[in-house]
Amino acid sequence: MSTPILCKGVVIREVAYGESDKCLTVLSDTLGCIAIFCKGAKNYKSKAFVSAQQFCYSEFELYSRADRYWLKEGTLINNFYGIREDITSAALAGYVCDVVADVTRENQKEPEILRLLLNTLYMLSRPDKPRAQLKAVFELRLCALAGFCPDLVGCAVCGAYGEGEPMYFDPKGGQIYCGSHKGSATMLSAAVVKAMRHSVYAPAQRIFAFELAPAELSEFAHMAERYLLCQLERSFATLDFYHNMENL
Ligand SMILES: [Zn+2]
């Protein structure tokens, strides 16, 4: 047997195959986003069982055979249990994992994206912040880390910062404009501009630390989602599912 490979990572997808086996998609710290094959992971007695479930952050011991990674052992670090107690949070976590799977690759280390994923899952496991806020912050920050960073510093034409004023955002180009150069861009209230700048530019440990009034939160959530979908140029079934749960 080959030398064991150790990594830590979050299970972002699990697919059953055969009678008791699973294939996990894991965003890992050292190998990027990888597929891990698990023999007997559906069996409750399996040591791998607790570490091989979606949203779990675990330490994995793997071996490589036939160009695939196989799970030898898994040790759970955090299962973010609170996510499973609320269907809306679970639906949102499913979407978050799908987006992460879309922008990460094998052998491409993404420590900042892994950190964002862990922070988002942690916040989703707690009731403190509105789900819509967690989602929007995640979407904007993820875009910024995945190479689709919007330029929110100032008006793309004249550089005006627009402190305390509404600004205008173009989700295709990822730029903001002042009132004089708005063209066909969408108006954002001053509080939403501030929230968007915070989501993109604040230090990683503080990205979720702000509050918005309900009307502004819904404007913020709408624009963050539009931006992500525009940039990634695709839709997500898990996003539709989240909206269905949210509207129940
Ligand atoms: Zn301007």
From 78, 96, 131, give the residue that closes a domain.
78
**74 plus 22 within the same structural domain:** yes
179 CA → ligand 1 middle, Å: 7
151 CA → ligand 1 middle, Å: 13
48 CA → ligand 1 middle, Å: 56
What's the predicted TM-score (pTM) here?
Answer: 0.96
**110 plus 228 within the same structural domain:** yes
Q: Tell me the percentage of the chain whose pLDDT exceeds 90.
A: 89
**127 plus 235 within the same structural domain:** yes
- Distance, C-alpha 148 to centroid of its chain: 14
**115 plus 215 within the same structural domain:** yes
**136 plus 63 within the same structural domain:** no
81 CA → ligand 1 middle, Å: 47
**74 plus 150 within the same structural domain:** no
Domain containing residue 23: 5-78
Number of helical (H) and strand (E) elements in the chain, helices listed first: 6, 8
159 CA → ligand 1 middle, Å: 6
**91 plus 70 within the same structural domain:** no
pLDDT band at 3 (very low <50, low <70, confident <90, very high): confident
176 CA → ligand 1 middle, Å: 9
246 CA → ligand 1 middle, Å: 37
- Mean pLDDT, rounded, for 127-155: 97
The predicted structure's pLDDT at residue 247 = 87
**Model confidence over 33-63: pLDDT tens digits?**
999 999 887 776 776 788 889 999 999 999 9
From 26, 53, 78, give the residue that closes a domain.
78
Amino acid in position 120? T
Find all residues with CB under 8 Å of 219, minimum gap 6, and list them.
188, 189, 192
Would residue 47 be called left, alpha or beta, if left means φ above 0 and alpha means ψ between -120 and 50 degrees? alpha
60 CA → ligand 1 middle, Å: 51
Domain count, the chain: 2
Q: Tell me the percentage of the chain whose pLDDT exceeds 70.
A: 98
178 CA → ligand 1 middle, Å: 4
**118 plus 215 within the same structural domain:** yes
**91 plus 69 within the same structural domain:** no
